[in-house]
A and B are shown apart, each in its own frame.
Chain A
Amino acid sequence: MSKPRVPTEPAPRPFPISPRIAVAISIVLAGLVAWLAIDAPLAKLVPSEGGLDVARRFFARALSPALDYESEVPAGTPHILLQALTAARRTLVFAAAGMSAALVLGVVLGFLSTTAWWSGDLTGGASPARRFFARTVGPAIWATARILIVGMRSVHELLWAVLFLAAFGLNTAAAVAAIAIPYGGTLAKIFAEMVEEAPRDAANALRGAGAGPLQVFVFGLVPRAAPDLAAYSFYRFECAVRSAAVLGFFGFPTLGYAIAQSFENLHYGEVWTYLYALIALVVALELWSSTLRRRFVA
């Protein structure tokens, strides 16, 4: 038996300001240094006369998108609205293909980069073999998966596209891989975090009822995170649609390709037609995903 602990005086601060204020000040300072280092960028935001003119003409067409081509097109070219529809469909298909591959990557790597299925707190009463696994193999798998994920994520999808274009030329697989790799990495990272942070109450209850660590993980932990996982996947799908559209700038036949061509020809009305097609696509997706979420998640 010992005497109850007496709260001690807090130690005097070695520094006159609190850590929180110090952090805030250094963030502001870092921002200022960055602005100065890139040489007064605000001064360069004043547009040139020609630039202003382009902008004016571009935005003038915002409310009157082209309903027909603004110049002669070769015979047999489909109507512009049909063209926009086709490009939108291709954008969606590219995004869906990239995203489904990314989902597989995300689920597999996300699982491998969580600690919950092998770390101590879900494997109570572990056998020596399992303890060995949790001490060596588990962390090794975890670290490998994490490094892989960081590598996939740290290169932007457009850079991946440039790389694959150089390696494989202009083919569909290159575009799909360019989306799938960085998106797979991002999904894996977020999936892992969501699962690790999901409430453990049900998981502990299943463990208490004799379930094994993998069963606890799959049926006790993942379902607790499932609504967030689904919502985040929908959001990434939306991002994938935009990425797929932008990949068109490299020549893939998505909305970006049509936009780039019309822009180069100064056909701003056409640009707006395609932009509205992209906006309509994203809005339609958003409506679809929110309907699904209302039905299954919320």
Chain B
Amino acid sequence: MKPSARPPSKSVSCADPSAGNEARAGPAAFELHGAGVVYSGRAALTDAHLAVRPGEAIALVGPSGAGKTTLLRLLDAALAPTSGSVRIGGRRVNELRPAELRALRARLGFVHQDLALIPNYRVLANVLAGSLGRMGFARSVRTMLFPARADVERAAAILERVGIGAKLYQRTDSLSGGERQRVALARALYQEPSALLLDEPVSSVDPARARDLVDLVTEISREQYLTLVVSIHDIDLAREHFSRLVGLRGGRIVFDSPTASVDARELAALYSLEGLERVEASRAY
């Protein structure tokens, strides 16, 4: 475990949601303004305000069902908010034309909780699939069936970086859970993303491996100046690796502050069972 090199973020803590809008050089990587998502009559996320600077790393914490995945899907532009607005790289997701939305998604690397790999593909093919968003159909057929040497080398380099360089030509389903997770990470990195979004990356592996993976992800995003948003159930892991924590509960952001200033009481409240019924009741639409 290494201390984060990133200074605690002070500029855009979201106590006042409008605070991040002024006095900034470029657009925020992600900016949610009163964003809400309603799934078939049930509010999954309500009135979320959040701003993330490019290159910043944050962790989303909270009990399961708190809305972490929904929030991540908003940041991935995989979901449009039913209310409020979501801006990614300064552009409103709701206003993008389909082609623009595709181009935007191609630059957002997402590592799914269930990894969403193709088990009967070789590792190489799974990684190459990360580039499909950037090419037309004809070129994608060539890339997937007869990848150019340069593509293979780039995929190999990324696999090397995530620590499974030797697995390039192995079938994905012959790998261990931890290795498969790195394949999913490599696929996201192969997209040449500007941001990396990870949904519960530590739920499927043992604690030691989970720590290694979070180490790796934070390190890579720092090297490549990627914006990093990770949802983590394990609060200690989040505190160790991230300088800013966003706590969710019952579909609402309940705190958003530098890790150092998140106190034990806030965390206890986040995970306590008490009062959960109240939150649940307020969510019923």
Contact = CB atoms under 8 A, between A and B. Distances in A.
Given A205-B110, A209-B110, A4 B129 contact: no
Contact of A1 (B115, B130, B140, B282): B282
A66 B138 CA distance: 58
Contacts of B188: 209
B144 interface: yes
A201 interface: yes
A125 B77 CA distance: 10
B225 interface: no
Contact of A220 (B108, B112, B118, B191): B118
A126 B98 contact: yes
Please tell me the size bucket of the interface on A. 20 to 34
B102 interface: yes
Nearest to B101: A125
Contacts of A207: 78, 105
B134 interface: yes
A208 B282 CA distance: 31
A18 B108 CA distance: 52
User: Chain B CB within 10 Å — which of A5, A125, A214, A223 has the most?
Assistant: A125
Contacts of B144: 219
Interface in A1-30: 1-5
B121 A223 contact: yes
Contacts of A209: 105-106, 108-110, 129-130, 132-133, 187-188, 191
A202 interface: yes
B284 interface: yes
A142 B140 CA distance: 25
A126 to B, nearest CB: 6
Contacts of B101: 125
Contact of B120 (A3, A126, A212, A226): A226
A201 B116 CA distance: 5
Interface in A268-293: none
Interface string A192-235: 00000000011011111111101100111001101100000000
Nearest to B140: A215
Nearest to A126: B98
A108 interface: no
Contact of A206 (B103, B107, B129): B129
User: Chain B CB within 10 Å — which of A4, A205, A224 has the most?
Assistant: A205
A141 interface: no
B76 interface: yes
A60 interface: no
Interface string B168-186: 0000000000000000000
B213 interface: no
B189 to A, nearest CB: 11
Given A2-B284, A2-B285, A125-B98, A214 B137 contact: yes
B97 interface: yes
B120 A205 contact: no
Interface in B77-128: 78, 96-99, 101-110, 112, 114-118, 120-121
B134 A210 contact: yes
A130 B98 contact: yes
Contacts of B97: 127
A5 B284 CA distance: 9
Contacts of A212: 102, 132, 137
Nearest to B126: A202
A215 B106 CA distance: 13
User: Chain B CB within 10 Å — which of A3, A127, A207, A211 has the most?
Assistant: A211
A124 B132 CA distance: 16
Nearest to A226: B120
A99 B235 CA distance: 58
A151 to B, nearest CB: 31
B273 interface: no
B120 A1 contact: no
Contacts of A2: 284-285
A4 B284 contact: yes
Nearest to B109: A209
B148 interface: no
A205 B116 contact: yes
Interface of B: 76, 78, 96-99, 101-110, 112, 114-118, 120-121, 129-130, 132-134, 137, 140-141, 144, 187-188, 191, 280-282, 284-285
Given A201-B114, A223-B120, 16 more contacts: A1-B281, A4-B281, A5-B284, A125-B98, A130-B98, A201-B115, A202-B117, A204-B116, A205-B112, A205-B117, A206-B133, A210-B102, A210-B104, A210-B191, A211-B102, A212-B102
**Which 5 pairs show the lowest CB-CB distances between chains A and B?**
A210-B133, A210-B106, A205-B116, A211-B132, A210-B105
